């Protein structure tokens, strides 16, 4: 019998584990590889990802699921094992990014709408056959000037809800990712503006999910944390970020949702860990709170690897370290000195 949506969702946010976002599209992974001077080819992308998925300690103990890009879900390791099988063999759930990226929203300068609904039902059936049991769709909301507009939030929330309903219809758990960006150019983008826009976005998303008949028990939310914009010239303590993020989530996310797995959104590795740890240590929460980090889990591993086979072990231990720190954060027991001890 196939596993229920609820069981898959619960597995994705099981105690002390989180999700590895390794779903960089070809353009994004090229940027990451450029930063370490490695050419992005089908083979180098496969080698890098195979290194991560074969990091046994990290994968077995701290990672509950991996988000893949279409190419990776169809790739095999050097010994011919499909990469999705490596992930499943380590006890993690393979997942797939199904959006086609954020494109300019017509007549709305500076705003974007995520595309990819056309043909999605057929693609989901195909991905299920390839082993994917969850999917991800990311909407981006920018703060700046008089943005975001009602139109941008509404259009993106409706697309997220249509995507989530299609996933559930096909036995796939949707990760619903409405990201309020933290890199806006605006000086008024302080933590309270981020709070306001995140609250508006999440309320709209859950309205749309309700209208689309999406079962909250069979989905995972992937939101941003409430932080000041990187160019706002303001800052916030770890405790303030944790308190405001938990407050906005408690006022918008029904407890029927089994788990919330944050994106890191450009925070440093340690910031992303510290914020998650503080939320879990300071508050009683109705859902699991964990990580679904891309950059904050991979940056150190990518650097240590540097595109060389002889550095694979170093890349794997850098990944295992960050995965363990974030696992401790998901349990609320991470302390800054643990970073030093491990080093």
Query: Which of 63, 263, 301, 318 is in the footprint of ligand 5MM by CB under 6 A?
Result: 263
The residue to which tokens 């779903």 are assigned: 23
Closer to ligand 5MM by Cβ: residue 1 or 159 = 159
Helix (H), strand (E) counts: the chain: 14, 10
Q: Is position 21 an interface residue for ligand 5MM (rule: CB under 6 A)?
A: yes
Q: Is 269 in the site for ligand 5MM (CB under 6 A)?
A: no
State the nearest-atom distance from the C-beta of 284 to ligand 5MM, in Å.
Answer: 26
Q: Which segment (8-16, 56-64, 293-301, 311-319) binds ligand 5MM by CB under 6 A?
A: 293-301
| Residue 222 is among the residues annotated as catalytic for this protein | yes
Pick the closer one to ligand 5MM by CB: 21 or 59.
21
Instruction: Choose, by CB under 6 A, the member of 170, 294, 323, 327 that binds ligand 5MM.
Output: 294
Nearer to ligand 5MM, 17 or 138 (CB): 138
Rounded (to 5) percent helix, strand, coil in the chain:
50, 15, 35
- Verify binding: residue 178, ligand 5MM, rule CB under 6 A: no
For the bound state, the minimum distance from the C-beta of residue 72 to ligand 5MM, rounded and expressed in Å, comes to 11
CA neighbor of 232 nearest in space, from 144, 341, 129, 134: 144
269: exposed, middle or buried (C-beta count within 10 Å: 0-12, 13-18, 19+)?
Answer: buried
17 is catalytic: no
Q: How far is the CB of 213 from ligand 5MM (least distance, A)?
A: 25
Q: From the candidates 177, 244, 288, 312, give the one annotated as an active-site residue.
A: 177
Residue 31 or residue 251: which is nearer to ligand 5MM going by CB?
Answer: 31
Q: Which stretch binds ligand 5MM (CB under 6 A): 2-10, 113-121, 263-271, 328-336?
A: 263-271
Phi, psi at 13, each rounded to 5°: -125, 30
Rounded Cα–Cα distance for residues 11 and 128 (Å): 17
Task: Give the footprint of ligand 5MM on residues 72-101 (CB under 6 A).
Answer: 101
Token pair, residue 84, equals: 């999705």
- Structure token pair of residue 122: 């057929």
- What does the alpha-carbon distance between residue 245 and residue 224 come to, in Å, rounded to a whole number? 9
State in angstroms the smallest separation of the CB of 334 from ligand 5MM: 17
Binding residue for ligand 5MM, selected from 55, 167, 296, 325, defined by CB under 6 A? 296
Task: Give the Cα separation of 331 and 10 in Å (integer).
Answer: 16
> Residue 157 or residue 251: which is nearer to ligand 5MM going by CB?
157
Residue 222 CB, nearest distance to ligand 5MM (Å)? Answer: 7
Residue with the closest Cβ to ligand 5MM? 294
Is 265 an interacting residue with respect to ligand 5MM (CB under 6 A)?
yes
Stretch that binds ligand 5MM, among 5-13, 41-49, 244-252, 260-268 (CB under 6 A): 260-268
Which residue do the tokens 């990580």 mark? 291
Tell me the C-alpha to C-alpha distance, in Å, between residue 113 and each of 154, 229, 307, 335.
10, 21, 34, 39
State the DSSP H helix or E strand holding residue 11, giving kind and residue range, or none if neither.
helix 5-12
**Residue-wise burial string across 156-189, b where 16 or more C-beta atoms lie within 10 A, e elsewhere:** bbbbbbbbbbbbbebbbbbbbbbbbbbebeeeeb
Catalytic residue among 222, 244, 288, 312: 222
Q: Is 160 helix (H, G, I), strand (E, B) or coil?
A: helix
* Chain residues in the site for ligand 5MM (CB under 6 A): 21, 23-25, 28, 67, 101, 138, 179, 263-265, 293-296
Give the catalytic positions in this structure: 177, 222
């Amino acid at each position: 019998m196939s596993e229920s949506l609820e069981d898959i969702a619960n597995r994705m946010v099981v105690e002390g584990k989180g999700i590895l976002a390794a779903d960089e599209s070809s353009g994004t992974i090229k940027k990451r590889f450029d930063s370490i001077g490695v050419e992005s080819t089908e083979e180098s992308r496969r080698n890098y990802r195979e290194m991560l998925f074969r990091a046994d300690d990290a994968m077995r103990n701290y990672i509950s699921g991996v988000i893949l890009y279409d190419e990776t879900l169809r790739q095999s390791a050097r010994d011919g094992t499909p990469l999705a099988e490596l992930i499943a063999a380590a006890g993690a759930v393979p997942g797939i990014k199904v959006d086609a990226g954020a494109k300019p929203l017509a007549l709305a300068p500076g705003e974007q709408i995520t595309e990819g609904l056309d043909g999605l039902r057929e693609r989901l059936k195909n991905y299920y056959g390839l082993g994917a049991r969850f999917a991800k769709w990311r909407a981006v909301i920018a703060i700046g000037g008089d943005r975001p507009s009602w139109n941008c939030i509404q259009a993106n929330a409706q697309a997220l809800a249509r995507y989530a309903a299609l996933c559930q219809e096909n036995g796939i758990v949707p990760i619903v990712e409405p990201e309020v960006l933290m890199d806006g150019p605006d000086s008024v983008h302080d933590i309270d503006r981020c709070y306001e826009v995140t609250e508006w976005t999440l309320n709209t998303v859950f309205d749309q999910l309700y209208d689309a008949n999406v079962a909250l028990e069979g989905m995972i939310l992937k939101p941003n944390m409430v932080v000041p914009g990187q160019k706002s010239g303001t800052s916030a303590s770890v405790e303030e970020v944790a308190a405001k993020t938990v407050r906005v989530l408690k006022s918008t996310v029904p407890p029927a949702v089994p788990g919330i797995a944050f994106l890191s959104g450009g925070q440093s590795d340690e910031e992303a860990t510290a914020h998650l740890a503080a939320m879990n240590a300071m508050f009683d929460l109705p859902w699991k709170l964990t990580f679904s980090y891309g950059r904050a889990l991979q940056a150190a591993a990518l650097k240590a690897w540097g595109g060389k086979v002889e550095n694979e072990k170093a890349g794997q231990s850098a990944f295992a370290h960050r995965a363990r720190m974030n696992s401790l954060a998901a349990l609320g027991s991470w302390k800054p000195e643990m970073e030093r001890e491990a080093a």
